[in-house]
Amino acid sequence: MAKTLMGNVAFFLTTYLLLFTMLFPANAQFAKKTYLIQMDKSAMPKAFPNHLEWYSSKVKSALSTSPEADMDNEERIIYTYQNAFHGVAAKLTEEEAEKLEAEEGVVTIFPEKKYELHTTRSPTFLGLEPEKSTNMWSEKLAGHDVIVGVLDTGIWPESESFKDVGLRPVPSHWKGTCEIGTGFTNSHCNKKVVGARVFYHGYEAAIGRINEQKEYKSPRDQDGHGTHTAATVGGSPVHGANLLGYANGTARGMAPGTRIAAYKVCWIGGCFSSDIVSAIDKAVADGVNVLSISLGGGVSSYYRDSLSVAAFGAMERGVFVSCSAGNSGPDPASLTNVSPWITTVGASTMDRDFPSDVKLGNGKKIIGVSLYKGKNVLSIKKQYPLVYLGSNSSRVDPRSMCLEGTLDPKVVSGKIVICDRGLSPRVLKGHVVRSAGGVGMILTNTEANGEELVADSHLLPAVAIGEKEGKELKSYVLSSKTATAALAFKGTILGIKPSPVVAAFSSRGPNFLSLEILKPDLVAPGVNILAAWSEAIGPSGLKIDNRRVKFNIVSGTSMSCPHVSGVAALVKSRHPEWSPAAIKSALMTTSYVLDNTKKTLRDSSTAKPSSPYDHGAGHIDPIRALDPGLVYDMVPQDYFEFLCTQNLTPTQLKVFAKYSNRSCRHSLASSGDLNYPAISSVFTQKTTTSFPSPVILHRIVTNVGPPDSKYHVVVSPFKGASIKVEPETLNFTRKHQKLSYKITFKPKVRQTSPEFGTLVWKDGFHTVRSPIVITWLPPPM
């Protein structure tokens, strides 16, 4: 009996496993993912009345004819693209995608890709709001006819930053709309927020249906990030803006007369490429002049990056595209969004800080930062016991990071707890401390963060301090059983020196896709930025935070990107005929590299001078950008010629050539000849014993200053190479005249690391500065 039972069980298990192994691969075979399918618009047969029917026919021709597939009545196409990108986004199996890619008329197929967000003193700091002058904000310069599309988490339309008082009627070229949805109606758009759209089909295909109990399935912002970036671009002036009393003053965007169009592409689970490309496609059709995109998803080859391809299409239509560089610094080569037709923005500090003191029982004082403002206040006259649950060893201890469930109330109750940064949100650590009975927190940087301090609106009295001071503090606590401290919050302090400083988190160059294209392009304020916020979430962004604020202070290259987008809108308003390349050139060549102590910009991660791999061309200077004197202009074909130097196959090049039937004219001798405002020379040794040949690069400048202008060149010296510029003088006789010059780099002494310098054209009033990078590459293995 027992043997029979055991035999039956064995038979059942064997049969089950056999069926499982047979069915599982079959199910996997029919699992669908989203793909972006780029089509050659010109290849449509005459038999089709329109491109949509042709696209649909192509997709249907690739669908599986198996019984399992026949049972599936799901609509496959989720988006159609026809402006910055041509084709569709569709849900396909891997086999179907491979079959479709081989079809005639299909240029390429991009698998769905997930992107992440790169999470009001800045106008004054940037010189846009002189203390005793309002001339800058005249009707001519406010950007009334310029529309900036912001791809982000949506918008909180009730914010005072989006009031339209004093604005002229919406520009006639605007073709966009205000989509209605949960908590969002047509009335939420006005002469400031001229449009709002929502994109979620790609997200739902990858993640599942949006939970409308947690998120607004509409342009309304549940997160706060999109409201903050939109207000930074072009928020209307709001007097008395502050976060819990910090940074009190007038909050306004870079271009307060600019119109905003919100394109919601990001959700709790991330941002997906099919949604992003659809938003760019719609934005171009709607009539935006500038696109501000504060998100990224790593680096792919130009032809495999759907965001890059869509941005190329937008640039072809005259749209300036600004993207955040990423928050993966200070690691080298950590950049994202590196295509030359995209303006890549790093982050820097301002001359404003929120200092707090940690006064130790041994008499030592440590200066940190905090945005704490709450009911629980620690007496500055009283010392509180300190506790640190880590050790001096290098072993990671979850308790030292104050992770949830790791703190014993018997140990921390009534004490100030020292918590190491890492693994969990900074403010959440304070919540863990408070829940365990702690009365305060000192948040210490680790090696990954260095000395850079980011202020947070903590839920209990808390101060963030640097790595060096953190080590000294922990040594004090571990060596003394009676260690104590008091916390004091100093409010808002202006005039901080040195500033600006390149943020440690700001992603760095070089651009390994193309060393000849220097990235980032420039830096802008991205640390502790005050701007409008969604009232659906607290300032910490945590669900447990029940506070509601109208403005918030946030850091990231997500914040620096809209600064540049807003200034680009100002330049576009002053010079409506300028191309995206001309605007980018103006921003780069007028940027500065000296801080408010007249020394070279510094790197927060090292406290040493930063390089163009950190700050690009320099720190944005809006006033000078309006009158750059000369610009390095380009047309779309110039960017295509650059791609022709990148060893791409004809099929890969077609990704960028499909709309305008572009072909390589081979006008560039090398990729370094692209008429870029930054200059990068690469010496390549052919063998270990040979010396590199000289590198010759060419540039063309367009006079946008006085008709009769004479410029002379100044080049900084280099150890490893001699540099000759021909001619050394440029004599312009009319406005918009173009003159060319040649730069010859002759190697002298091999260098083991890149060298940095500048090339400057001067006419006595304008200073047109380009960073130079010289790199030595070893011979191929």
The catalytic residues are 152, 225, 558
Q: What CA–CA distance (Å, rounded) separates 535 from 188?
A: 15
Q: What CA–CA distance (Å, rounded) separates 135 from 127?
A: 12
Within its chain, how far is the Cα of 292 from the centroid?
9
Ranges assigned E (strand) in 41-100: 77-82, 86-92
Q: What CA–CA distance (Å, rounded) separates 442 from 420?
A: 9
What is the arrangement of strands in the sheet containing 106-111, beginning at the earlier edge strand?
77-82, 86-92, 33-39, 106-111
Token digits of residue 137: 């904000």
Token digits of residue 332: 């080298």
Within its chain, how far is the Cα of 118 from the centroid?
5
Straight-line distance from the first to the last Cα atom of the chain, in angstroms, rounded to the nearest whole number: 71
Burial string for 381-412 (b: 16+ CB within 10 Å, else e) reads eebbbbbbbbeeeeeeeebbbbbeeebeeeeb
Token digits of residue 167: 């604005």
Q: Are 402 and 449 in contact (CB under 8 A)?
A: no
Nearest to 531 by CA among 543, 517, 549: 549
Q: Are 738 and 701 in contact (CB under 8 A)?
A: yes
Q: Are 565 and 290 in contact (CB under 8 A)?
A: yes
Q: What CA–CA distance (Å, rounded) separates 593 from 160?
A: 35
Q: At what angle do helices 650-657 and 636-643 cross, to 10 degrees?
A: 170
Q: Are 616 and 521 in contact (CB under 8 A)?
A: yes
- Count CB atoms within 10 A of the CB of residue 767: 17
Q: Are 434 and 462 in contact (CB under 8 A)?
A: no
Nearest to 98 by CA among 24, 23, 35: 35
Nearest to 549 by CA among 179, 139, 227, 202: 227
Calculated CA dihedral for residues 681, 687, 689, 692, nearest 10 degrees: -20
Contacts of residue 500, Cβ cutoff 8 Å, sequence gap at least 6:
348, 349, 350, 351, 523, 525, 595, 601, 619
